[in-house]
Amino acid sequence: MKQLIKNSTICGFVFFLIGIGELLGQQLVTPTKAVELALEHNYGIKLITNRLKVAETDATILNSGYLPSLTANAGATFNKDNINADFSNGSSTSLNGAESSRYNASLDLNYTLFDGLGRRYNYKLLQEQHKLTELQVRETIENTVEQLFAVYYNVAQLIQNVKANETLLNISRERLTRANYQFEYGQNTKLGVLNAKVDINNDTINLINTKQQLVNAKRDLNLILGNELKQNFEVASTIDFIAFPNKSELLDNIKAKNVALLQADQNIQINKYTINSNKAAYLPTVGLTGSYGWNQNDNNSASFVAVSTTTGLSARLNLRWNLFDGGGAITRVKTSKLNLENRELQKKQLELRIERDFNNAWDDYENKLLVYKVQEQNIVTAQNNFDRTKEKFKIGQVNSIEFRQAQLNLLNAELSRNQAKYQAKLAELRILRISGELLNTEF
């Protein structure tokens, strides 16, 4: 038995040194650092950012229709003909293989002076779509940050759960050592030793499972962060809750800051411009065409002019008015008006839903915060109960079953406290997201 104790002490010291080495080598990822990594490396954010670049490119003057088109044209023609020609003075000639050639080059300019204000509203529509994409980027970032913290705090909770299970296992090992002593000196039966071994096995299995859950959760977190972390990292387990202003003040801010409502407003504005763009089909289109050209003809000997060269500038103003296009323009205008009406109805429906979600989130946060405070008090009670039970167990006033129950009560209290703490924090983050303040908060 003494040799067993000695070996156990040596192994414990070795594991302690290994644990210290691992701890020193672990990278601490704070909430702020996690957000920074997600913003830089998360693939969902990268994809939506590229969409924003596309929308930004589409909303430039180069895609507006305001600029003219300039085209360069050039050509050459070569002829070799057999000609029989009778002239007006009565003479005639016959040519075999008479050669002639023509060359031309021009710059052609086309510009729409007026198109019924269609391009004006199309340009504004593109600008509003760019703003809408910016809001979609913000929504993606908010969702990613909320998802990030759901996984981040799950990792933090599992780290604390591992520590609680390790403590439970150490207590069970001490109990087995005591049971072996008592059995050797005839103070206990073999049943006490066997019960202690069973509890150690159960505690070991629970610890193994919890550690595996922690490994999986760390992989989930690393996936959100674009796989930028090494496997061996830690997260911060401490939490500070935000002192919210009163509920009505947050509710008033939702209309101006909630990203879903802002997108609804943006879609309404886009539909208004769509209506005006479709109405442009009712008005005429005025266009300007200009050309500067050079032409040279090298004629055969049957022609009166051997070589002719012309250069010149031409311009043309044209007007086109589509008086009736079979009803297509009327249909498009009516459809866009109905779409606008639907967008306005959707916004009203969204306002009601968001208000409901906010009220639910607020009540959920208050309840979870209260549960966390109660669980904190429960920890103190469970710890006191375990300490007293442990002392009574040492002097034989409490059996192993009662000791084990006090041990499990303390563990369950710690696990429940850990869960309540992080659930309350996630409920707080949901309030921040609904109220539009998530990205304005320091983590």
Taking Cα atoms as reference points, which of 201, 221, 248, 93 lies closest to residue 145? 221
For 293, the 3-state DSSP assignment is strand
Quickly state the pLDDT bin for 12 (edges 50, 70, 90).
very low
Query: Which of 25-34, 131-140, 303-312, 392-401 reaches the highest mean pLDDT?
Result: 131-140
Contacts of 22 (CB under 8 A, 6+ apart): 232
- Tokens 């008005």, residue? 283
Answer whether residue 307 shows pLDDT above 90.
no
- Dump the DSSP string for 96-115: EEEEEEEEEEEEEEEEEEES
Tell me the domain boundaries of the chain. Answer: 2-41+117-283+325-440, 69-114+285-320
Quickly state the pLDDT bin for 4 (edges 50, 70, 90).
very low
pTM score of the predicted model: 0.84
Answer whether residue 73 shows pLDDT above 70.
yes
Ramachandran assignment for 311, one of left (phi > 0), alpha (psi -120 to 50 degrees), beta (any other) = beta
Answer whether residue 1 shows pLDDT above 60.
no
What's the confidence (pLDDT) of residue 395? 84
CB 190 within 8 A of CB 183: yes
Q: Which of these ranges, 176-185, 275-284, 362-371, 422-431, has the smallest mean pLDDT? A: 176-185
Task: Write out pLDDT tens, residues 373-386.
Answer: 999 999 999 999 99
Q: What radius of gyration, in Å, describes the C-alpha atoms of the chain?
A: 41
CB 210 within 8 A of CB 163: no
Report the CATH number of the 2-41+117-283+325-440 domain. Answer: 1.20.1600.10
Tell me phi and psi for residue 87, to 5 degrees: -90, 165
Taking Cα atoms as reference points, which of 150, 224, 30 lies closest to residue 427? 150
DSSP H stretches of helix in 245-327: 247-257, 259-279
Answer whether residue 264 shows pLDDT above 60.
yes
Region 134-140 average pLDDT:
96
Q: Which of these ranges, 188-192, 428-432, 435-439, has the smallest mean pLDDT? A: 188-192
Quickly state the pLDDT bin for 25 (edges 50, 70, 90).
low
